[in-house]
Structure 1
Amino acid sequence: MPHLPRLTSLALAIALFSGVSMMSHAAEIIAPAAAPASDKAPLPLDELRTFVEVMDRIKSSYVEPVTDKELLENAIKGMISNLDPHSAYLGPEDFADLQESTSGEFGGLGIEVGMEDGFVKVVSPIDDTPASKAGIQPGDLIIKIDDQPTKGMSMLDAVDKMRGKAGSKIKLTIVRDGGKPFVVNLTRAAIKVKSVKSQMLEANYGYIRISQFQVNTGEEVGKALNTLRKENGKKLSGLVLDLRNNPGGVLQAAVEVTDHFLKKGLIVYTKGRIANSELRFSADPADASEGVPLVVLINGGSASASEIVAGALQDHKRGVLMGTDSFGKGSVQTVLPLSSDRALKLTTALYFTPNGRSIQAQGIVPDIEVTRAKLTREGPASSLNYKEADLQGHLGNGNGGADRPTSSAKAAQARPQDDDYQLSQALNLLKGLNITRN
């Protein structure tokens, strides 16, 4: 796919986050932006005197000695914590984690989290991690970490407590849908997230799953489309793009993925206060998907970069959105390095879909609402379940061809859509569209 414009004019790393991950998600780190030239308001001298006095009183009167460094770092954290849930001060450890996660490899449990009513709330578990394997779901409230209540705990503090060496144990107390608390025991692991997975659901119908948006996700989706086309032997009749429980990631990756499905038009634009924060991204004429009929799956765990992709495809009527309302995180975070080992993750802009929709606190509404449901298969044929071809002495078929009795039915091979109601409905919709178009 032709190269899309990078954000060099902004000289910032922009990423889209739904919350704070167990070992924060990927972001591209570039040099900090120069301060905009503008008339600054005079310093609030009275408030600064109060700040200095409070700091002096704590140093002289607090029950235990406190260093200037501790007080100043806590002051910075407090200043950022009252802005919005997605802005944060990144100390050396947090900043290092952020840089490491750019490659998609990080340690922890694999949970993307936010805050709600003073508790830690799961935005989404990441595929193939200890959290997803333990059955943790979007919307779960983590009320205790190793028996320590999370009420009143900052999100970064909670994340720090859930971190640890791979192989170490941790106990989370969960409340789901207002029910009774229950305990989940997990083992931390070195998380290696593969952001894109693909396979054929059945002949002519492909499936691409994006678990999060990393730096190389756009390239990986291009390869997946090519692989599915080769595996099918001809152009696909339909494709399911699965963005469920995808908490977001890198803005540029969301743009590149969307561009694989569009030939022209605006993909997303941003608005903010800092210089050059008003960015616009448009599609390239190339279409790696070959215009294949598309169904996009979203749910309450689809956030940020996922919502950019879903919103753009919906506005351009490129695909049918199916599932449930998305998370509603429409702000852009810019990582501003403060030194070699510290940074500020600051909300600097809001993003908008091609039609000018802000997703913030509202989310993307699917074209067809399909909630989760459990699928159960019927058992094998019995004496109460048989066909005409099973009856002794039945007449043959005048049109030719072999009889098809129940006993000759082959055991079906397990497929992803067999246990996933939303996915099965997406596949049925694609088949219906294909029939009516033909």
Structure 2
Amino acid sequence: MSRRTSPLLVALLPLALASPFAPAQDATPPAAEQEVPAPAEQAPQAPPQDAAPAQAAPVDGDTPAQEQEEAPAAPAADEEQDAAVAASDDPDAIESAATKVPLEEIRRYVGLFNAIREGYVDPVEDRKLMDSAIRGLLFDLDPHSAYLEKRAAEAFDEGTTGAYDGIGVEVLQLPDGKVRVIAPIDDTPAAKAGIRSGDTIVAVDGKPLTPADAEGHGPLRGPPGSKAVLSIVREGEVKPLEITVHRETIRVASVRGRMLEPGYGYVRISQFQVETAEDFARTLGRLQGEAGGALKGLVIDLRSNPGGLLTSAVRIADDLLEKGGIVSTRGRNSVNDTEFSATPGDLMQGRPVVVIVDAGSASASEVLAGALNDNGRARIVGSRSFGKGSVQTVMPLGNGDAVKLTTARYYTPSGRSIQARGIDPDVVLKPDTTEPKLVSTLPGYTEASLPGHLRGDEEDGSAAGDVLDGDGPIEAALAELKKPKPEVATAPAAADAPKRD
């Protein structure tokens, strides 16, 4: 067998040599699931959805990589200098490539590439092999790093705007092609059909899901009005459930608010999108108007919120803080180190705030909860959150494709790492076991349980939190909100102090 350097190796080397970009905001988004994101119907690989961006459909039209396929083959890999020249004609680049990408590893890759191309039982296109190789570079890093081909990158961006055609669910792509539900999005077909956090979708319309189904938008997407029959494995069920969902154009309202009782407001944030911070401020203003100008207290519900844009979470925290840190990120490269602090101006004017979290609260929602709690601005009720404390940087590659790479970790203002630990509530709540539909469907499912997850600074193997459905947690949060603040001892008044002439 002849051993010749694949011209597609040219497309691989720039990825290895690329310099870091500034961190994306939870993804996104998402990011996050970095995380941000976790955008609608994109797998946070993360937090955050009907089809994982990790294995997307091929790009339509010619790309730089395809043009390289048409070029003459590069010289043999045994010739070290010529292999470096295949990556660049610049002598400095040759030296850099030799320094950063060991040539013996290049030889190993090329040998395997050619062995597959020439010896596999069926012909395999060079493009398909290279796509697999690129995905393989990211596959074993962590659950949230992914290669996004053009259509997947476009779908990934949709999550930050909240409009797409599908069933309305945040999912995590599993290696075998199945998808795990992080959370159904409020008031979408998935939520109305009874899909729950922790469900695993194993087939669509009777066809078992495979890794190939993760390409592009995936089988959960489709024209509005079209029907999808989902085969779902659920904890506690003996056999898979068959649930029929009719796709819709999903326009996710990420913020909803109402009065719980006179003077006490409730705001539900389902995910963090581009306009979430503005919607939060607008909703809070409306509730304050209904309360006669000022609320006595506020409940913020972040249950099953998979995250989204970090900037939106930071802005909401800033709206409720007069001062103090909000979040910091730290990575291997200093360009990924950032710190966000509050500016004066608390929209609640110091009145009490309680935040609800559960096992489905991830990424940017954990950032918000941690910021308010560490600054003594809010108490946390619920169960331990998911524990996605990593930042994903989205790196555009110029041909419409992108790389979503984990580049940093989140830290709360006190310096605590969220990664694989989550936020521990001040008041722990348990599911209402008197109603079977409210029993947690996510036992043991956290960031720490994901294969290949980043080790957390405070990871301790503690039991995962519960998914908390229903109105019980809201009632518990309201009761916590009404508790009187502990009295703080003060110095005696001047008139009572010992007189000293």
Q: TM above 0.5, one fold?
A: yes
Letter in 2 for 1:433: P
- Report the equivalent of 2:306: 247
Q: 1:299 to 1:372 in 2, by over 3 A?
A: same
1:307 aligns with 2:322: no
Q: How does 1:37-436 map to 2 (within 5 A)?
A: 41-115=99-173, 119-150=178-209, 153=211, 156-157=214-215, 160-180=218-238, 181-373=240-432, 420-433=471-484
8 Å contact kept, 1:120–1:143: yes
- Report the equivalent of 2:24: 13
Q: State the alpha-carbon separation in 1 of the partners of residues 348 and 320 from structure 2.
A: 6
8 Å contact kept, 2:151–2:217: no
What SS does the corresponding residue of 2:219 show, helix, strand or coil?
A: helix
Q: 1:205 to 1:117 in 2, by over 3 A?
A: same
Give the alignment's TM-score, normalised by structure 1: 0.79
Q: 1:231 to 1:435 in 2, by over 3 A?
A: farther
User: Aligned-pair distance for 1:11?
Assistant: 4.8
Q: 1:255 to 1:205 in 2, by over 3 A?
A: same
Count of paired positions: 378
Letter in 2 for 1:65: P
Q: State the alpha-carbon separation in 2 of the partners of residues 267 and 168 from structure 1.
A: 43
The structure 1 segments of at least 4 consecutive aligned residues displaced by more than 6 Å after TM superposition are 37-40, 434-437
Q: 1:11 to 1:249 in 2, by over 3 A?
A: same
Q: State the alpha-carbon separation in 1 of the partners of residues 116 and 325 from structure 2.
A: 54
Q: Which structure has the highest strand share of the two?
A: 1
Give the alignment's TM-score, normalised by structure 2: 0.70
Q: 1:197 to 1:375 in 2, by over 3 A?
A: farther
8 Å contact kept, 2:24–2:391: no
Structure 2: segments with no counterpart, 5+ residues: 1-19, 49-92, 436-468, 489-501
What SS does the corresponding residue of 2:132 show, helix, strand or coil?
A: helix
1:309-342 superposed Cα distances (whole Å, 9 cap, x missing partner): 0111111121111111111100011110011411
Question: 272-281 vs 341-350, which deviates more?
Answer: 272-281
Q: 1:370 to 1:159 in 2, by over 3 A?
A: farther
What SS does the corresponding residue of 1:359 show, helix, strand or coil?
A: coil
8 Å contact kept, 2:265–2:298: yes
Q: 1:141 to 1:342 in 2, by over 3 A?
A: same
8 Å contact kept, 1:21–1:113: no
Q: 1:73 to 1:158 in 2, by over 3 A?
A: closer
What SS does the corresponding residue of 1:276 show, helix, strand or coil?
A: helix
Q: 1:63 to 1:165 in 2, by over 3 A?
A: farther
1:105-124 superposed Cα distances (whole Å, 9 cap, x missing partner): 12222211125685522111
Letter in 1 for 2:164: F
1:351-407 superposed Cα distances (whole Å, 9 cap, x missing partner): 00011111111111111011232799xxxxxxxxxxxxxxxxxxxxxxxxxxxxxxx
Q: 1:67 to 1:236 in 2, by over 3 A?
A: same
Q: 1:132 to 1:314 in 2, by over 3 A?
A: same
Q: State the alpha-carbon separation in 2 of the partners of residues 274 and 242 from structure 1.
A: 35
8 Å contact kept, 1:120–1:158: no
1:11-68 superposed Cα distances (whole Å, 9 cap, x missing partner): 55332222765533899xxxxxxxxx99874432222223222222333333433322
Q: Percent identity?
A: 45
8 Å contact kept, 2:40–2:159: no
Letter in 1 for 2:119: S
Q: State the alpha-carbon separation in 2 of the partners of residues 231 and 104 from structure 1.
A: 28
Q: 1:268 to 1:39 in 2, by over 3 A?
A: farther
8 Å contact kept, 1:237–1:434: no
